[in-house]
Chain A
Amino acid sequence: MSIDTSKVAASNTTTAATAKKPSKAGAAAAWADDRLGLATAMKKNLRKVFPDHWSFMLGEIALWSFVVLLLSGVFLTLWFTPSMGEVTYQGSYDPLRGVTVSEAYNSALKLSFDVRGGLLMRQMHHWAAMVFIAAMMIHLLRVYFTGAFRKPRELNWVIGCLLLLGTLEGFTGYSLPDDLLSGTGIRAADGFMKSIPLVGSYLSFFLFDGEFPGDAIIPRLFTIHVLLIPGLLLALIAAHMLLLVYHKHTQWPGPGRTEQNVVGFPMLPVYAAKAGGFFFIVFGVTALMGGLLSINPVWKFGPYDPTKVTAGSQPDWYMGWPDGALRIMPGWEFGIFGHTFPFNVFLPIIVLPGLMFTILLMLPFIESWVTGDKRDHHLLERPRNAPTRTAVMVSLMTFYGLMWAAGGNDIIAIKLHASINQITYFMRAAVFIGPAIAFFITRRWCISLQRHDNETLLHGYETGIIMRSPEGGYSERHLPISDARAYTMTARQRDEVPALEAETDANGVPTPGSRSAKVKSKLQTLMYADNVQKPTQEELEEAHHHVEHENELQAGLDHAADGHQFDGHHLVDEEHLRSH
């Protein structure tokens, strides 16, 4: 294609226009630089390159919904009264008029019915909280599955994991309006705390300023919700972004995209415009959700009353998985020297989330310990090219999903007309067996996808055209893939399959310290040994010779039957078989 570039739009000239006289922006920048000296730092950063891929948007959704949370949250604080003092409800909502409620609940109702836009902000705040946490988790999965957590980005992985603190922020927010559901949640939290050996009841009395429910918990949670955790999240997000900029974003391999460079659009203007525009889109979608989708209608639940509970009461979805663990745990409560150890609560709700969090945090370090890989990695890997890594996360996800499903065991029982006992027993087994099966299947699946990739590289892609040989045999026509695609598929490191180190020295005596080396080499074997490596140059050449040979055998076909125009001997520029 050749285009007369003289017609190209002005914005696309490749050389910067030389400024005749300083523009307005230039004058402002000069003013600022005289005082702040930012030009040195900004020289590179204004045109900093950001690579593009849809999956890089997930973190952005989390970031922007956090901003929406800050904005809508501040609006809510203007009316919300964090107090458990009792008042008689006198607002616009008829069914509750005259009822004694807490000031917190009263102000949540006021926000919902007597402040214009108040309900919108409440619902936007709650929806944004859901989107924030969901986007954060999916972003985490993206980072893990593509290997973006590898050196030098391990610390940013750790910061990202710490951001899961946002779930606690969600729980404290959910507790603020002091409706029946939030009270039920706080009460369960009281039970959780009491399950901690030695200090449990002290923690509970300190948090509630006496016995549950007391009158301190809502004001205290309020401070935690609007000051403490948002402050921490803000600091963590700032650090996350700084490191992102310092490391430069990872990119997918492709023609011209290597470990040494980063290819994409400059921050100013394209990336800034796209990211900024995306902020408005996230904000706008949240506003539509707040306007059109009801969420947490606290007036329907009624004020908190410690003697009441609604059937099928469920926490917000992100609290679902520990709730499931709590449900399927057998009722093991131990007596220890005249004390009670409520292991049935302590294990699923205190230990398990902590354990899961620690595992998540450690994943990059475990992987690099096993592989011994100390190199920097800036190119992303397809999940299939790290079968064990991918399988580990799918296995964790299966565990999470099953626990989450167990959190709805009553609903499942009703839907399936099964007894809740059966569902629970099934789940108890499933949370152990399911992840193991998921690990195995995922790993094999990845490996067969790798094998398929190699087939495509060596023999070309399947055209769907069946060829009949003179002997009457049938075969499918394969056509070579483009260089760009072939390069993209092979642009990855070979796994260094470990050679088993000698376990004994020359005299047959076990080498000292070989135990951990042995464990490591076993793990390496598990991690790598079954992986399919990309073909070598010789293998590729040989395969291509072979293909050419085949084509020569079929060269007699000079008249093209239907579909045979794709036999590689005809120009197919004008033909469309299928997009590839």
Chain B
Amino acid sequence: MSDQNSHDDLVPSTFEDEPIANPGLPPHVWRPTDVDPKAEKRAERQVAAMFGLSILCAILFMVSYFAFHVGSDWNTIGGLGASNVALGVFLGGALLFIGIGIIQWARKLMGDQEIVEYRHPARSPDEDREATLAALNAGLEESGIGRRPLVRNTLLGAVGILALPAIVMLRDLGPLPGDKLNHTIWRRGMRVVRDVVGTPIKVSDLELGDLVNALPEALFPTQENGYPEIEGVELQQQKVKAAVILNRMLPEEIVSEQTLNWSVNGIVCYSKICTHVGCPISLNERTTHHLLCPCHQSTFDLTDSGKVIFGPAGHALPQLPLAVDSDGYLIAQSDFTEPVGPSFWERDPS
């Protein structure tokens, strides 16, 4: 049956100075299903069985859809939910059996003669190229684009300028930054209150080494404290910038002058927002008073003005100057003295 391979003789060898001649395509080998009607019938039945199984799975899929509950039952099988598992398995089965069936069909029953096709270079033949080039030139010539630079250049200018309206149109995507990034809602005398609940904090509430998540009282407006109503987007935006942590250490442990001046009985207050790219910092090393950011492990020294002692952050963690009010609650001496969070171009270099 070498007649199928005769075309090989036409194939020119590619490699100059080929040490071994191209032996040509190996002869085709018949499969059992090609020569044995029994094998052929068997394969046919196998393929049909696959498609049958797929139908079965599809039916079971629909049965499961109605039989299993979602909602309260979501957790039943390995935390995945009976409905989810059943739907996934039967949908998977319905699809896989079709796939396996078709591939089996292709392998066992469809013709398996490899055929040969010749390649042609991607480039067009020379005469086509020349004809196209001539057409192109004729077109350009008739348009006169080369002879009339004034027309050409104004057109290019006009189309180029069109990009500007397109960009200008995007202007209203958002407001300009202004100095928003430089300020937070913290003000002189504003109480430092607990995260979530909003209760003010006394010096005695903190044990040595404690780390407390806190917010400005203005984010919990009530009749009593008289702060203006704040909610929704505005609340989120203020919260993002104003979140702080309180940490208590022995006053002797404090290294820098500024940190000492801005502390109250060894309690220091820092921005919770990492100066790297802005994750909320949360991991506290009790003994060293180092604060670690879980995102990229920048580590800040709370005893020493929030200096970066490790990691990719570029500058110290801003410290909030603390004081106590007449009722003994922790308050801010002022807003942060520098922007919180990640660096940006307009920020004063530190």
Chain A residues close to B by CB (< 8 Å): 1, 3-5, 7-9, 11-12, 14, 47-49, 84, 86, 91-93, 112-120, 123-124, 152, 184, 187-188, 190-192, 194-202, 204-216, 246-248, 255-266, 269-270, 273-274, 276-281, 283-292, 294, 306-313, 323, 326-336, 338-345, 348, 376, 378-379, 409-410, 420-421, 424, 457, 483-484, 486-487, 490-494, 534-537, 539-540
Contact = CB atoms under 8 A, between A and B. Distances in A.
B169 to A, nearest CB: 12
B19 A86 contact: no
Q: Which of B12, B19, B103, B350 has the most CB of A within 10 A?
A: B19
Contacts of B93: 284
A134 B99 CA distance: 22
Contacts of A114: 70-71
B71 A194 contact: no
A424 B297 contact: yes
Given A258-B22, A281-B103, A291-B84, 19 more contacts: A9-B109, A92-B70, A93-B74, A114-B70, A119-B83, A187-B279, A191-B276, A199-B345, A215-B233, A263-B115, A269-B110, A273-B106, A284-B99, A309-B280, A311-B283, A335-B349, A344-B313, A410-B294, A420-B297
Given A270-B112, A340-B345, A342-B342, A537 B117 contact: no
A260 B239 contact: no
A11 B106 CA distance: 12
B311 interface: yes
Given A119-B81, A341-B345, A262 B119 contact: yes
B70 A116 contact: yes
B74 A209 contact: no
Interface stretch (B143-151, B174-182, B200-208, B250-258): B174-182
Contact of A287 (B95, B116, B342, B350): B95
B68 to A, nearest CB: 8
A260 B119 contact: yes
Given A256-B8, A263-B25, A290-B88, A270 B106 contact: yes
Interface stretch (B26-34, B134-142, B155-163, B261-269): B26-34
B99 A190 contact: no
A70 to B, nearest CB: 15
Interface residues of B, number: 120
B19 A262 contact: no
Q: Is the interface of B mostly helix, strand, loop or mixed?
A: loop
A280 B277 contact: no
Interface in B50-104: 65, 68, 70-72, 74, 79-81, 83-89, 91-103
B115 A266 contact: yes
B343 A345 contact: yes
A281 B100 contact: yes
Contacts of A334: 349
A47 B115 contact: yes
A12 B113 contact: yes
Contact of B176 (A112, A202, A213, A348): A202
Given A260-B11, A309-B294, A342-B314, A376 B345 contact: no
B1 A188 contact: no
Given A48-B117, A284-B93, A309 B122 contact: no
Contacts of A212: 237, 240, 278
Interface in B311-330: 311-315
B223 interface: no
Contact of A338 (B84, B237, B313, B349): B349
B276 A265 contact: no
Contacts of A345: 276-277, 312, 314, 342-343
16 contacts: A11-B109, A191-B278, A194-B343, A256-B5, A261-B11, A263-B117, A288-B88, A288-B96, A309-B294, A327-B296, A327-B312, A331-B276, A340-B349, A345-B342, A491-B22, A535-B19
A189 B4 CA distance: 61
B35 to A, nearest CB: 6
The 5 A-B residue pairs with the shortest CB-CB distance in the complex, in nearest-first order: A291-B88, A335-B349, A191-B277, A333-B314, A280-B99
Nearest to B175: A210
Given A187-B279, A256-B8, A338-B349, A261 B74 contact: no
Q: Which of A124, A257, A340 has the most CB of B within 10 A?
A: A340
Contacts of A9: 33-35, 37, 40, 109
Contacts of A493: 15
A8 B112 CA distance: 12
A65 to B, nearest CB: 13
Contacts of A494: 15-17
B175 to A, nearest CB: 6
Contact of A492 (B15, B74, B282, B345): B15
A330 B89 contact: no
Nearest to A52: B114
B227 interface: no
Contacts of A206: 170, 173-174
A205 B172 CA distance: 10
B66 to A, nearest CB: 8
A540 B4 CA distance: 31
Nearest to A288: B92
A14 B5 CA distance: 12
A201 B92 contact: no
A5 B2 CA distance: 13
Given A48-B117, A201-B346, A273 B310 contact: no
Contact of A307 (B33, B243, B296, B298): B243
A201 B98 contact: no
Q: Which of B33, B68, B99 has the most CB of A within 10 A?
A: B99
A152 B34 CA distance: 39
A260 B296 contact: no
Given A277-B103, A491-B15, A86 B232 contact: yes
B168 to A, nearest CB: 12
B89 A291 contact: yes
Contacts of A112: 74
Nearest to B18: A490
B13 interface: yes
Nearest to A540: B19
B171 to A, nearest CB: 8
Contacts of B94: 284
B236 interface: yes
Contacts of A290: 84, 88
Given A113-B74, A209-B173, A277-B99, A260 B89 contact: no
A265 B99 contact: no
Nearest to B296: A327
A328 B279 CA distance: 17
Given A117-B87, A273-B102, A491-B15, A340 B113 contact: no
A341 B311 CA distance: 17
Contacts of B8: 256
B177 A311 contact: no
Given A201-B181, A284-B93, A184 B116 contact: no
